C-alpha cells in the first residue's frame, strides 16, 4: 500500500520510516494531487495552528475534509488529532472538523508537558506499548459513535470513529510498530 503523511510541518519522516518498516510505501503529501493515489493518510505531530494555516493556504483543507468524510482512513497524532477535532476547547480556530471529539490543547500544563509511559491498549496489542507525550492534547468529550481506545488518569488519549483514528501521543517516536500496524490494517479494509 501507499500511505501518505501530511508533510506541511511537523514530524513526517519518523512516520514514513515506520510505514516502510512494515513493508509499505510512505509518501510525504504536500498538495491536493498527491491525495489521489494513497490508501490512507497520517496527520503528524507539530503545531496544529501552523499546519491548519498551511492546509488552507495550499487549498487542501476542503478536499481532504471531503475525502475523510467519504470514508478515507486517517490517523492524527497529537497536533494531527487537534486538526481532526470537531471542537477545540477555548478556541474558535477549528480545522478539518471531521471527528466527533472535543480536544484540549497542551492539556498537561507546563509541569509535565512532556512525559513517557507504557500501557496496554487492548484494541491494538496485548503487550504494553510505549507512549510518548509532547505538549500533548487530550480528548475532553466524545460524541456519537466515537470509541474510546485508551484513557490515562481518566483522560481519553486514543479514540476511533469509523475510518478515523486519533492519538494524543507519538508512536512514531518509539521503535514500537503496533499502532502503525493497527492503522495500516484500517487502510487495507477500505
Q: Is 78 in the site for ligand GLN (CB under 6 A)?
A: yes
One residue of 47, 119, 141, 178 binding ligand GLN per CB under 6 A? 47
**Exposed, middle or buried, 141 (CB in 10 Å: 0-12/13-18/19+)?**
middle
Site string for ligand GLN, 17-46 (x = CB under 6 A): ----------------------------xx
Query: Taking a C-beta distance cutoff of 8 angstroms, is the pair 128, 87 a contact?
Result: no
Q: Is 106 in the site for ligand GLN (CB under 6 A)?
A: yes
d(CA 6, CA 95): 14
One residue of 135, 142, 148, 162 binding ligand GLN per CB under 6 A? 135
Q: Is 144 in the site for ligand GLN (CB under 6 A)?
A: no
Q: Measure the CA angle with vertex 166, ends 126 and 31; round to 5°.
A: 130
Select from 5, 91, 86 the least CA-distant residue to 46: 5
Residue 170: active-site member: yes
Select from 127, 136, 117, 123 the least CA-distant residue to 174: 117
From the list 150, 172, 180, 187, the catalytic residue is 172
Query: Residue 36 Cβ, how far from ligand GLN at the closest point, in Å?
Result: 27
Binding residues for ligand GLN (CB under 6 A): 45-48, 78-79, 82, 105-106, 134-135
Amino acid at each position: 500500500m501507499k500511505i501518505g503523511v501530511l508533510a506541511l510541518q511537523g514530524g513526517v519522516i519518523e512516520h514514513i520510516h515506520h510505514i516502510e518498516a512494515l513493508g509499505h510505501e510512505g509518501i510525504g503529501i504536500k498538495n491536493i494531487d498527491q491525495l489521489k493515489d494513497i490508501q490512507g493518510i497520517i496527520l503528524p505531530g507539530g503545531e496544529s495552528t501552523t499546519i491548519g494555516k498551511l492546509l488552507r493556504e495550499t487549498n487542501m483543507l476542503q478536499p481532504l475534509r471531503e475525502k475523510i468524510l467519504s470514508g478515507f482512513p486517517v490517523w492524527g497524532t497529537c497536533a494531527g488529532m487537534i486538526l481532526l477535532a470537531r471542537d477545540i476547547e477555548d478556541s474558535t480556530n477549528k480545522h478539518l472538523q471531521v471527528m466527533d471529539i472535543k480536544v484540549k490543547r497542551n492539556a498537561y500544563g507546563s509541569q509535565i508537558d512532556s512525559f513517557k509511559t507504557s500501557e496496554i491498549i487492548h484494541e491494538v496489542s496485548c503487550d504494553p506499548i510505549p507512549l510518548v507525550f509532547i505538549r500533548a492534547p487530550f480528548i475532553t468529550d466524545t460524541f456519537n459513535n466515537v470509541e474510546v481506545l485508551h484513557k490515562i488518569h481518566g483522560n481519553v488519549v486514543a479514540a476511533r470513529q469509523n475510518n478515523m483514528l486519533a492519538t494524543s501521543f507519538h508512536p512514531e517516536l518509539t521503535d514500537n510498530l503496533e499502532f502503525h500496524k493497527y492503522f495500516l490494517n484500517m487502510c487495507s479494509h477500505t
